[in-house]
Amino acid sequence: MRAVEPWVEGPLAAFLDESAARLTLLMTSAGQVLAQHGFTRAFDVMSAAALGAGIMASTDELARLMDAPPFRALAHQGVQHGLFLSGFDTPQGRWIGLVVFGPESSLGLVQLFFQRLVADLAKQAPTEAPSNRVLGSDFEDELNASLRTLFGQ
């Protein structure tokens, strides 16, 4: 498990321990990765983050078309793996969690401990706004720095 922000590590470690999730990704609603567990290649992380953020953006737009509040979570159950995707608010802005779990866990367990993760992150999060916004010329440097942190390279 690796996190760009150190304060994320404790709550995420507790979530991984309790839920037995195989893969977990925490990212901003723009798809910037903040923490990951289980991924071995940077390319996979960036692809999953982009796809997850895209799905959440699509469902947010669907909700807007229906004059409904944004959907909180989305789940897919496959033969071997399940996928849970959920957006949540933190003092640092809106984040997205993507969790892949196997038969040793369940959607109910993942949902249960994801709620705790969200509450723990809200408690641990620094109240000031993020210091660096990843925009324009900083983007590539920030992306490379995040990937180095997330993969220890």
Partner 1 sequence: MPEFATALDSITRVHGVRGAMLVSVSDGLVVAESSMDGVDGAPVAALTASLAGRLRRTTEAAGRRLPTFIHLRAATGTVLAVPSNDDLLVVTIGAPDINVGLARLEMLHVAERGI
Per CB under 8 A, the list member of 29, 59, 90, 111 interacting with partner 1 is 111
What lies within 8 Å, CB to CB, of 88 at 6+ separation is 72, 94, 95, 96, 97, 118, 121
Interaction between residue 78 and partner 1 (CB under 8 A): no
Give the nearest distance from C-beta 62 to partner 1 in angstroms. 23
Q: Which of 51, 7, 58 is nearest to 27 (CA)?
A: 51
Q: Is 77 among the residues that bind partner 1 (CB under 8 A)? A: yes
Q: Does 14 bind partner 1 (CB under 8 A)?
A: no
Window 25-64: contact mask with partner 1 (x via CB under 8 A): ----------------------------------------
Binding region for partner 1 (CB under 8 A) out of 24-32, 34-42, 59-67, 102-110: 102-110
Comparison of 109 and 145: residue with beta carbon closer to partner 1: 109
First-to-last alpha carbon distance for the chain, in angstroms, is 14
Q: Taking CB under 8 A as the rule, does residue 109 contact partner 1?
A: yes
Query: DSSP per residue over 50-106, as a string?
Result: HHHHHHHHHHHHHHHHTT-PPP-EEEEE-SS-EEEEEEEEETTEEEEEEEEE-TTS-
119 interacts with partner 1 by CB under 8 A: no
- Burial status of residue 1 (CB atoms within 10 A of its CB: 0-12, 13-18, 19 or more): middle
# of chain residues touching partner 1 (CB under 8 A): 9
* Residues contributing to the site for partner 1 (CB under 8 A): 77, 103, 105-109, 111-112
